[in-house]
């Protein structure tokens, strides 16, 4: 098996935007980020995930969108929107092309922030112990700190429906990451003097319908194919995937495998209900 180990890929996984919220009294439609907090009656929701409407005597929770009109919602208390992430020890960090070439890393850290009702940004994305062709790799754009270090450009994230099957409170949500302009690539780096470029888009499923302080964020791929590769709201035929090349040659589809532990400043949720 070829060892085209790519570290740049994990890039997106980092800010997986795991804890975010959902429903309610904003101009946005679900899924959206927010907080499901306890509130004395009258309250719209029975459960702490704001998924089950309350009946008389069951009013316990209310939904508070993270943003209203593009401005952070300070009600009922100021909201904290930043998070940090690090790879889960003992798990695989890998970028694999459909042709079987792989690039691996042995460590990863990042930071991020919720920036809107459905948006987030990943920053300070750093992969360590990056290897390909049995050699250490080093990023050139953005510049790395030395051998084995590959940095990734800031990434803009956006959540939307990934699967709409059955009851709405059971629908699945995914997050999409793309390079933040003016950057057009995720990263550029060299391994044993071989230049490699990673570009495109990458998606991962995210936890929804539950308030989370800490969450496991996974980017899953098999034989170079990411899962998922599109939103349910995308036109037929859409493929949101990563691509990598070497020596300036033809780009090839690639998939990222990465598991991170994301820790938010406070509990947030991705809400599912109107």
Question: What residues does 212 pair with on adjacent strands?
Answer: 268
Residue with tokens 């927010």: 34
Q: Does 188 fall in a domain?
A: yes
Is the bond preceding 272 in cis, omega lying within 30 degrees of 0? Answer: no
Q: Does 153 fall in a domain?
A: yes
Q: Does 260 fall in a domain?
A: yes
The pTM of the full predicted model, rounded to 2 decimals, is: 0.89
User: What integer pLDDT is reported at residue 8 of this predicted model?
Assistant: 40
Q: Does 145 fall in a domain?
A: yes
Q: Does 40 fall in a domain?
A: no
Q: Specify the number of domains making up the chain.
A: 1
Q: Does 94 fall in a domain?
A: yes
Q: Does 61 fall in a domain?
A: no
**Residues 6+ away with beta carbon under 8 Å from 193:** none
Q: What is the DSSP letter of 83?
A: E
Residue 83 phi, psi (nearest 5):
-150, 165
Residue whose C-alpha is closest to residue 210's, from 177, 167, 173, 261: 173
Contact at 8 Å (CB) between 240 and 201?
Answer: yes
User: What integer pLDDT is reported at residue 133 of this predicted model?
Assistant: 87
User: Which residues of the chain have a pLDDT value below 50?
Assistant: 1-26
User: What integer pLDDT is reported at residue 1 of this predicted model?
Assistant: 36
User: What integer pLDDT is reported at residue 199 of this predicted model?
Assistant: 98
Instruction: Work out the burial of residue 14: count CB atoms within 10 Å of its CB; fewer than 13 is exposed, 13-18 middle, 19 or more buried.
Output: buried
Can you give the residue range of the structural domain that contains 199?
10-35+79-271
Q: Does 74 fall in a domain?
A: no
CA distances from 129 to 73, 132, 144, 256 (A): 40, 10, 12, 16
User: What integer pLDDT is reported at residue 247 of this predicted model?
Assistant: 94
């Amino acid at each position: 098996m070829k060892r085209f180990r790519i570290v740049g890929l994990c890039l997106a996984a980092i800010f997986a935007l795991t804890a975010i919220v959902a429903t309610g009294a904003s101009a946005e439609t679900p899924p959206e980020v927010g907080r499901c907090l306890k509130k004395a009656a009258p309250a719209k929701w029975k459960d702490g995930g704001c998924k089950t409407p309350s009946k008389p005597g069951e009013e316990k929770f209310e939904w508070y969108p993270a943003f209203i009109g593009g401005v952070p919602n300070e009600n009922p208390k100021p909201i904290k929107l930043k998070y940090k992430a690090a790879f889960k020890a003992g798990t695989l960090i890998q970028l694999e092309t459909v042709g079987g070439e792989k690039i691996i890393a042995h460590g990863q850290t990042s930071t991020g922030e919720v920036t809107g009702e459905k948006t987030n940004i990943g920053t300070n994305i750093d992969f360590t112990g990056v290897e390909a062709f049995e050699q250490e790799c080093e990023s050139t754009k953005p510049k790395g700190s030395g051998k084995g270090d590959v940095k990734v450009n800031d990434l803009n994230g956006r959540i939307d429906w990934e699967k709409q099957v059955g009851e709405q409170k059971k629908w699945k949500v995914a997050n999409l990451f793309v390079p933040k302009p003016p950057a057009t690539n995720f990263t550029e780096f060299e391994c044993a003097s071989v230049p490699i470029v990673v570009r495109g888009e990458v998606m991962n499923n995210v936890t929804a319908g539950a308030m989370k302080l800490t969450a496991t964020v996974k980017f899953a791929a098999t034989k170079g194919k990411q899962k998922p590769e599109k939103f349910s709201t995308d036109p037929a035929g859409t493929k949101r995937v990563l691509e990598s090349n070497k020596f300036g040659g033809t780009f090839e589809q690639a998939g990222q495998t990465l598991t991170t532990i994301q820790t938010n400043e406070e509990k947030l949720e991705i809400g599912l209900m109107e």
